[in-house]
Amino acid sequence: MIRNTRMKRFSVVSAVVALGAMVFTALPAQAAEPGLTSKEIKLGISTPLTGTAALSYGKVPGAMKAYFDFINANGGVYGRKIKLVVRDDKYLPTLAATQTTNLVLKDGVFALVAALGTATHSKAYAAASLATKKVPDLFVNTGFSGFGNRTKYPTTFTVLPSYAMEAKIISKFVKDKFPGQAVALVAQDDEFGVDGVNGFAAGSLSIASKTLYPQGYMNDARAKALVTGLSAIPGKPVVILFGTTDVTALIFKAAESLSLTSKFTWIAGSVGGDSNTLLALGVKPTTIDGVVAASFFPDAKNTTDQYVKEFTKINAKYNPGVSFDNIVLQGMNSAMLTVQSLRAAGKNLTRAGLIKAIEDKGSTFASAALVPLNYSATSHIGYNGYWMGQLNAKGELKPYGGTLSIVTTDSTTGPITPSTFKRPSMPKNGIPTNS
Amino acid sequence: MLTLTPSKKRTLFFVAMGWALLLIGDRIGELRQYQGSFVAMYALAIGSIILLTGYSGQLSLGHSALMAVGAYAGALSINNLHLHPVIALVIATFVAGLFGLLLGFGVARLSGPYLAGTTLALAVSLPTLANQFPILGGEQGVVFDVGLPPARFGENFSQYKWFFWISCLAVLVMLWLISNVVSSRYGRTFRAIRDNETAAALSGLNTGRLKVLAFSISSGMAGLAGGLLVMLISGVSPSAFPLSLSFSLLTGAVVTGVYSLKGVMLGGLVLVAIPEIADSLVTRIGGSEGFTATLPGFLVSALLILAVIFAPNGPGKLLHSFKKHG
């Protein structure tokens, strides 16, 4: 009797195994160039759609889709329509890893575009084996200079100027405009923050007080303790916030409740200085008024700019109900870079061909930024400069001191030089015709 | 005729499973290899719950936290001690087991809802504690990299096949060990305590010590599963071990039948299939992104309720009773 049930159980288990095996084997093999047919190019993006990071960056996929829809309505890329598969990673490294793997293995995308974040994307890149599979990894929204490592990230192209460049440019700015003032640096303790810290060292900025905190560590009480500690520095110290926007907001709100906002000159790094998000997180407009920030784009509210004007029109038609801001501008710009890359790779599109096309022709692509694109066979880092501005109470970034001064540099010890860059004009009607 | 002892049969069964998985691993695509690795990992985690709940009668809602302990231990041994990934997985098992042992001493007097409550608190608090220690890397966590497959397997041997091999082998070895334990004297004493603790104590069993032992073994299994999980996602961070993971595992255990280790693979398959089903449902009927995000949780809960109502002892028992009455 015992033997009988044992046998029965054994047969149930083997039936399950056999079933599993059948399910497993009934799958189609992968095509030579995944995600590509004569009618469609399938691209994938892993980015936060929910959670705090989605407050600002959640608009990126919508903006990109809108631009791709616009291009599809105008004939696509050599007759192929672009399809964007969006997966939500909540800005969590673990989820980014599985979602990116899903994009590559399950959705079978041809290339990845505009992934967000340093910690998220470095994990995702490894988990999804993007290097061994040679999946193009275009226009990653991070300034981590480590992504420029061609051995570790052979298929990655970042779009933002590196954090090291930003830190160097801020260093020079502080030394020029606030000589003799003590400087305090508050940075996130990870690849992103440390990249910045190295940049400040390269920019030989002397820092009186340095605070490094792990992501997820900062809260109301800790922000208040931090601000109280910094207020002991005599004079009007310059405080550089090199973290994410939610932490910038916590620190600003702590300063508000301690009535210490005007004790400091605030400089918010590009990652943590998005004014719309700061306002949405409850920071007072009077606190934001006067905050110094760095940017490489024109202001998204400046409709006299030809790129802003054309993108605003596309946004109104293909992304209805979404207000045009810096994030939408960035999304559309990355989408336009993607279309130009696909065109540059020619009609016989391949993954290797796409990477080569960006290396060869990427630096000539039309783009909204006021600084040059830096792509070449030896560099996969996108923009390489910044201009310093000051936010007003409405959250608009205006050039510091009234005149726009754009500078460029590199991620290491190169000099900081005024830019002589002439921005290519916007393609007619916003439709690239490059090849 | 050749007669085999049950323990030899078991060993043969596991060897046969190993062969079958090796053959399957060669025939399937990368996506299925990746999913298969998850199935194996979940099967082990579910096995740890079944050992604890089904065999020793203790209820834990905190197994995601025990998995996290193993995962962090493994990641730190690779990153800081530069140990071989295989050794890191062994360390993950032992550190989680040791943690479970200490925890077991603490909670040995608790049972039923009190034990569930304590372990639940653990699941809520432990992963967030990681944010307080810079060595654990905060919210972004630390890398867990097992490295590329050995070059001698050839260029076509993919990372996912390597994951599949590691997961399946680790899980088979662990489940083989555990199935030997539960059919040994210890297994019988565990069951005796589960069925009637007083009677077991009167028969001379040290129930407190045995419960702690069961808790420790179960934690070790969970720790290894945690190590495998973060190997598959290349890094360990608090977000990998949400509370919902504990509930999913419990659902997997209930769906499989909490009194037997035999169906753990089914449980693993169910847990991997649920997000897939949710995905295809959403694509078919259309829906918002928020809908996709919440649907798997809903399906897990619904499955748990249905399983408790219709098949509280697992599908095996259900089939059995159909045959009897029908």
Is there a domain that residue B162 lies in? yes
Whether the predicted pLDDT of A356 surpasses 80: yes
Is there a domain that residue B197 lies in? yes
- Over range A62-70, report the average pLDDT: 96
**Among B169, B166, B212, B210, residue whose Cα is nearest residue B190:** B210
Give me the phi and psi of B283, to 5 degrees please.
Answer: -65, -40
| Confidence category of residue A270, pLDDT binned at 50, 70, 90 | confident
Range 159-218 of A in CB contact (< 8 A) with B: 189-190, 214-217
Q: What is the pLDDT, as a whole number, of residue A244?
A: 85
Among the partner residues B233, B266, B289, nearest to A98 by beta-carbon distance: B233
- Yes or no, beta carbons of B265 and A17 under 8 Å apart: yes
Please tell me which residue of chain B has the smallest CA distance to A126: B234
| Confidence category of residue A262, pLDDT binned at 50, 70, 90 | very high
Q: What is the pLDDT, as a whole number, of residue A52?
A: 72
Q: Which residues does chain B have with pLDDT short of 70?
A: 1-2, 286-290, 292-293, 316-326
Structural domains in chain A? Answer: 40-161+300-383 (3.40.50.2300), 163-295 (3.40.50.2300)
pLDDT digits (tens, 9 = 90+) for A135-146: 999 999 988 888
Lowest mean pLDDT among A201-205, A412-416, B153-157: B153-157
Whether the predicted pLDDT of A13 surpasses 80: no
**Among A358, A318, A311, A368, residue whose Cα is nearest residue A139:** A358
Q: CA-to-CA distance for B84 and B120, rounded, in angstroms? A: 33
**Among B267, B49, B37, residue whose Cα is nearest residue B169:** B37
Is there a domain that residue B276 lies in? no
Q: Is the CB of residue A97 less than 8 Å away from at least one CB of chain B?
A: yes
For helices A163-177 and A191-202, the axis angle rounded to 10 degrees is 40
Nearest 10 degrees: Cα torsion A122, B164, A30, B156? 90
Substitution target in B9, B64, B140 with the highest count of A β-carbons within 10 Å is B140
**A87-91, A190-194, A240-244, B123-127 — most confident range:** A240-244
| Confidence category of residue A14, pLDDT binned at 50, 70, 90 | low
Is there a domain that residue B282 lies in? no
Number of Cβ within a 10 Å radius of residue A415 = 10
Which residues are CB-contacts of A357 (< 8 A; sequence separation ≥ 6)?
Answer: A341, A344, A345, A346
Q: Which residues of chain A neighbour B237 with C-beta distances below 8 Å?
A: 92-94
Range 163-202 of B in CB contact (< 8 A) with A: none
Which residues are CB-contacts of B310 (< 8 A; sequence separation ≥ 6)?
Answer: B318
- Yes or no, beta carbons of B13 and A10 under 8 Å apart: yes
- Yes or no, beta carbons of A127 and B233 under 8 Å apart: yes
Is there a domain that residue B279 lies in? no
- Yes or no, beta carbons of B36 and A24 under 8 Å apart: yes
Quote the domain boundaries for residue B193.
Answer: 29-145+156-242
What whole-number percentage of chain A has pLDDT above 90? 66
Q: What is the pLDDT, as a whole number, of residue A72?
A: 96
Q: What is the pLDDT, as a whole number, of residue B134?
A: 76
**pLDDT, averaged across chain A:** 89
Whether the predicted pLDDT of A352 surpasses 60: yes
- Over range A414-419, report the average pLDDT: 90
Among the partner residues A13, A98, A105, nearest to B262 by beta-carbon distance: A13
Q: What is the pLDDT, as a whole number, of residue A2?
A: 43
| Confidence category of residue A1, pLDDT binned at 50, 70, 90 | very low
Q: What is the pLDDT, as a whole number, of residue A218?
A: 86
Strand A238-242 to A209-213 pairing: unpaired
- Give chain A's length: 435
- Yes or no, beta carbons of B24 and A30 under 8 Å apart: no
Whether the predicted pLDDT of A24 surpasses 70: no
Whether the predicted pLDDT of A147 surpasses 60: yes
Is there a domain that residue B44 lies in? yes
Please tell me which residue of chain B has the smallest CA distance to A129: B159
What 3-state class would DSSP assign to A393?
coil
Is there a domain that residue B82 lies in? yes
Q: What is the pLDDT, as a whole number, of residue B308?
A: 83
Among the partner residues B39, B138, B293, nearest to A214 by beta-carbon distance: B138
- Yes or no, beta carbons of B145 and A97 under 8 Å apart: no
What whole-number percentage of chain A has pLDDT above 70? 93
Quote the ipTM score.
0.75
Name the residue with tokens 């290349």.
Answer: B234
Q: How far is residue A42 from each of residues A74, A139, A157, B2, B31, measured CA to CA in Å? A: 17, 16, 18, 59, 18
- The count of structural domains within chain B is 1
Q: Higher confidence at residue B107 or residue A176?
A: A176
Range 271-310 of A in CB contact (< 8 A) with B: none
Whether the predicted pLDDT of A348 surpasses 70: yes
Across the A:B interface, residue pairs with CB atoms under 8 Å apart total: 124
Q: CA-to-CA distance for A198 and B281, rounded, in angstroms? A: 48
pLDDT digits (tens, 9 = 90+) for A34-47: 999 999 999 999 99
Taking chain B, what is the end-to-end CA distance rounded to the nearest angstrom? 35
Whether the predicted pLDDT of A193 surpasses 90: no
Q: What is the pLDDT, as a whole number, of residue A154?
A: 95
Number of Cβ within a 10 Å radius of residue B76 = 21
**Among B216, B211, B215, B213, residue whose Cα is nearest residue B200:** B211
For helices B63-79 and B243-256, the axis angle rounded to 10 degrees is 120
Whether the predicted pLDDT of A150 surpasses 80: yes
B99 close to B69: Cβ distance less than 8 angstroms: yes
| Confidence category of residue A12, pLDDT binned at 50, 70, 90 | low
pLDDT digits (tens, 9 = 90+) for A304-334: 999 999 999 999 999 998 889 888 999 999 9
| Confidence category of residue A25, pLDDT binned at 50, 70, 90 | very low
Among the partner residues B9, B132, B239, nearest to A92 by beta-carbon distance: B239
Q: What is the pLDDT, as a whole number, of residue A26?
A: 44
Q: Higher confidence at residue A381 or residue A27?
A: A381
Q: CA-to-CA distance for B251 and B242, rounded, in angstroms? A: 15
Give me the phi and psi of A211, to 5 degrees please.
Answer: -120, 120
Which residues are CB-contacts of B164 (< 8 A; sequence separation ≥ 6)?
Answer: B21, B25, B33, B34, B36, B37, B40
Is there a domain that residue B17 lies in? no
Substitution target in B234, B255, B319 with the highest count of A β-carbons within 10 Å is B234
**Among B306, B316, B309, A6, residue whose Cα is nearest residue B324:** B316
- Give chain B's length: 326
B174 close to B224: Cβ distance less than 8 angstroms: yes
Stated pTM of the model: 0.81
Range 270-309 of B in CB contact (< 8 A) with A: 289-290, 292-293
- Yes or no, beta carbons of B233 and A215 under 8 Å apart: no
Q: In the beta sheet, which residues pair with residue B322?
A: none
CA distance B120 to chain A (A): 22
